[in-house]
Amino acid sequence: MSNSAEATRSVLLVGQGGAGKTALAEALLARAGVDIPRGGIFDTDDEERARERSLGLATATLTWRDQRLALLDSPGGAEAIGDAFGAMPAADAALFVIDASVGLGPQHDELWEATGEAGLPRLAVFNQLDKAQARFQAHVDALREQVGKAIAPIHMPLGIGEDFGGVIDLLSRRAVRRVDGQRYEGEIPEEYVEQAERNREWLVEAIVENDDELLMRYLDGETPTYEELSALLASGVASGSFCPVMCASAEEGRGLKMLADALVDLVPSPVERPAGDLDAARVIEGPPAAYVAKTIADPYVGRISVLRVLAGELTPDGQLVVDRTGQTARLRGLVGLTGREQSSIERAAVGDVVGCTKLEDVVTGDVLYASGAPVSLEVPRPPRGHYRVVVRAAGGSEDDKLPGALARVAEEDPSLEISRDDSGRQLVLSSYGPEHVAVVAAKIKRTFGVDVETAPVPIAYRETVRGEGRGLGRHVKQSGGHGQYGIAELIVSPRPRGEGTEFSDEIVGGVIPRQFIPSVEKGVDEAMGRGVLGGYPVVDVKVRLVDGKHHSVDSSDVAFQTAGSLGFRAAAQDAGIVLLEPMAEVKVTVPEAQVGDAMGDLSARRGRIVGTESGGQGRSVVTAVVPESETANLVPELRALTSGAARVEMAPAGYGETPEHIAREVVAQQEE
pLDDT at 236 over 90: yes
Could you tell me the pLDDT band of residue 505, with boundaries at 50, 70 and 90?
Answer: very high
- For the chain, what is the domain count? 4
Last-in-domain residue among 575, 600, 625: 575
pLDDT > 90 in the chain, percent: 72
- Ranges assigned E (strand) in 100-251: 122-127, 151-153, 155-158, 166-169, 174-179, 182-186, 243-247
Dist CA 73 CA 658 (whole Å): 47
Q: What does the angle CA 49 – CA 55 – CA 59 come to, to the nearest 5 degrees? A: 95
Other residues' Cβ atoms within 10 Å of the Cβ of residue 394: 15
Say if residue 394 is in the same domain as residue 499: no
pLDDT at 4 over 90: no
Say if residue 186 is in the same domain as residue 54: yes
pLDDT of residue 401: 87
Q: What is the DSSP letter of 38?
A: T
pLDDT of residue 672: 64
Say if residue 129 is in the same domain as residue 172: yes
Report yes or no on 278 lying in a domain.
Answer: no
Other residues' Cβ atoms within 10 Å of the Cβ of residue 430: 18
Closest among 535, 459, 463 to 501, alpha carbons compared:
463
Q: Which residue has the higher pLDDT, 179 or 143?
A: 143
8 Å CB contact between 268 and 93 = yes
Say if residue 523 is in the same domain as residue 426: no
Report yes or no on 616 lying in a domain.
Answer: yes
pLDDT of residue 2: 40
Report yes or no on 154 lying in a domain.
Answer: yes
CATH code for the domain of 540: 3.30.230.10
Dist CA 329 CA 317 (whole Å): 9
Q: What does the angle CA 586 – CA 579 – CA 539 come to, to the nearest 5 degrees? A: 90
Residue 137 half-sphere exposure toward CB, CA atoms < 13 A: 12
Report yes or no on 262 lying in a domain.
Answer: yes
Chain center to CA of 363? 16
Dist CA 461 CA 478 (whole Å): 39
Say if residue 584 is in the same domain as residue 561: no
pLDDT of residue 339: 85
Amino acid in the structure at residue 630: E
Mean pLDDT of 120-136: 95
CATH code for the domain of 659: 3.30.70.240
CATH code for the domain of 201: 3.40.50.300
CA distances from 619 to 18, 22, 367 (A): 23, 29, 36
Range in 68-82, 306-320, 459-473 the model is least confident about: 68-82
Dist CA 598 CA 648 (whole Å): 11
pLDDT at 639 over 60: yes
> By residue range, what is the domain housing residue 592?
580-671
Mean pLDDT of 464-482: 89
Last-in-domain residue among 519, 554, 575: 575
Range in 181-185, 406-410, 573-577 the model is least confident about: 181-185
Residue 379 half-sphere exposure toward CB, CA atoms < 13 A: 22
pLDDT of residue 1: 34
Last-in-domain residue among 550, 575, 600: 575
Report yes or no on 27 lying in a domain.
Answer: yes
Residue 579 bridge partners (DSSP): 463
Could you tell me the pLDDT band of residue 297, with boundaries at 50, 70 and 90?
Answer: confident
Report yes or no on 92 lying in a domain.
Answer: yes
Report yes or no on 657 lying in a domain.
Answer: yes
- Dump pLDDT digits (tens) for 239-257: 999 999 999 999 999 999 9
Say if residue 629 is in the same domain as residue 651: yes
pLDDT of residue 524: 98
Say if residue 597 is in the same domain as residue 647: yes
Say if residue 433 is in the same domain as residue 511: no
Number of helices (H), then strands (E), in the chain: 17, 32
- Dump pLDDT digits (tens) for 164-174: 999 999 999 99
Range in 8-12, 281-285, 567-571 the model is least confident about: 281-285
8 Å CB contact between 250 and 126 = no
Could you tell me the pLDDT band of residue 556, with boundaries at 50, 70 and 90?
Answer: very high
Say if residue 175 is in the same domain as residue 74: yes
The mean pLDDT value of the chain amounts to 91
pLDDT of residue 396: 67
pLDDT of residue 661: 93
Say if residue 505 is in the same domain as residue 391: no
Say if residue 20 is in the same domain as residue 144: yes
Mean pLDDT of 324-348: 91
Closest among 483, 435, 444 to 81, alpha carbons compared:
435
Dist CA 501 CA 516 (whole Å): 20
8 Å CB contact between 329 and 362 = yes
Say if residue 571 is in the same domain as residue 596: no
Strands 122-127 and 93-99: parallel
Report yes or no on 311 lying in a domain.
Answer: no
Kindly give the interhelix angle for 557-575 and 517-530, rounded to the nearest 10 degrees. Answer: 50
Closest among 83, 82, 136, 339 to 246, alpha carbons compared:
136
pLDDT of residue 299: 66
pLDDT at 181 over 80: no
pLDDT of residue 150: 85
Dist CA 151 CA 147 (whole Å): 7
Could you tell me the pLDDT band of residue 146, with boundaries at 50, 70 and 90?
Answer: confident
Mean pLDDT of 266-291: 93
Residues in the chain: 672
Q: How far apart are the first and last CA of the chain?
A: 72
Strands 122-127 and 67-73: unpaired
CATH code for the domain of 424: 3.30.70.870
